Chain A
């Protein structure tokens, strides 16, 4: 989509599910179940994606050109060949960076207002 390609940070707000999936894919390509598990880990179990919400979000992200399917397999012998792997596109990477920066700004504002007690270590 031209809109996303030209300036994603200007007009697009990511859903929480899409942002978490893109955060996982920022580390490299991955398949559906691994994405689901990592999202649950990142959020300490607060966000549990079911198969429907996972693939519904993936479908829309593919259509918007934020992620793409890849044929590469980390280890073809160990992996089930029916699995589909996804990775971020250039547009997707820009978008997830822009969203992370937006959230950082919000956190800084909240910190300035002393709404956060201590900075959390990652």
Chain B
């Protein structure tokens, strides 16, 4: 007596349940859809066998609640995994590098673009390291630390009261020694970039622009020297920096630096999917 309605209602229920499984993330469905449908089918048979239609209604109410809560949890977990994935961070770091580079190119006037360029560089350094995620290389970790410390120091220097807003068009000779802090910061950053660049250069599956971080490191060191030469030296001699001949170097170096960061950004975005391979063992 019960077999005919069971067959119909089982078929309809299983189809409906299978359709509702779309609420789960695709990966989860690919792994567990068959099993979940089977468990639902078994539960349905038992519920109908022991309690008839009231058992089926109870099963559906329970299943709806379970589906709503667990699909939400799985979706949130999937999203959080994606949000903190090295791939996404690397891509965002690439985007930040690209904009950081553009800000370098328009920062001849100093002020906010210069600070923004450095802040975006921070994200670029994070992105560069994340592209090497899972490498466990001490060189990479040291490079990351140097890169971050150098960049933060440069931002801190440019955020000080007498310097902020006036750099590099400063008139007070007392500010000349302070420029050394910026030069030192860029030098530390360049060490970090060189170490990160070393990891990129030794990768087994290298990108064709793999030399960029090392080139960028050289440019960062050059810009550190340039800031000292163009701003600090004339100031300490009682000259305005922009009146010095060496000031012509300033936009040229900023443009080169900007272009290199743009290049690094493009490289990071294009290669976000490809992890840099581990260093080969020394004995190999």
Contacts and interface: CB of A to CB of B under 8 A. Distances in A.
Nearest to B72: A52
B138 interface: no
Interface stretch (B28-36, B114-122, B128-136): B28-36
A52 B38 contact: no
Interface residues of B, number: 24
B62 A51 contact: no
A75 interface: no
B73 interface: yes
Contacts of A84: 35
A82 B74 CA distance: 24
A56 to B, nearest CB: 5
Interface in A28-50: 32-33, 36-37, 48-50
Contacts of B43: 33, 36, 51
A49 B70 CA distance: 11
Contact of A52 (B31, B42, B46, B69): B69
Contact of A50 (B37, B46, B70, B73): B70
Contacts of A59: 28, 31-32
Interface residues of A, number: 19
B174 interface: no
A38 B69 CA distance: 22
B44 to A, nearest CB: 11
B70 A53 contact: yes
A33 B46 CA distance: 11
B144 to A, nearest CB: 23
A32 B62 contact: no
A52 B35 contact: no
Interface string A60-91: 00000000000000000000101110000000
A11 B46 CA distance: 39
B34 to A, nearest CB: 6
Contacts of B36: 51-52, 55
A55 B65 CA distance: 15
Nearest to A56: B70
Interface in B5-43: 24, 28, 31-32, 34-40, 42-43
Nearest to A60: B77
Interface of B: 24, 28, 31-32, 34-40, 42-43, 46, 62-63, 65-67, 69-71, 73-74
8 contacts: A32-B35, A33-B38, A48-B62, A52-B66, A52-B67, A55-B28, A83-B35, A84-B35
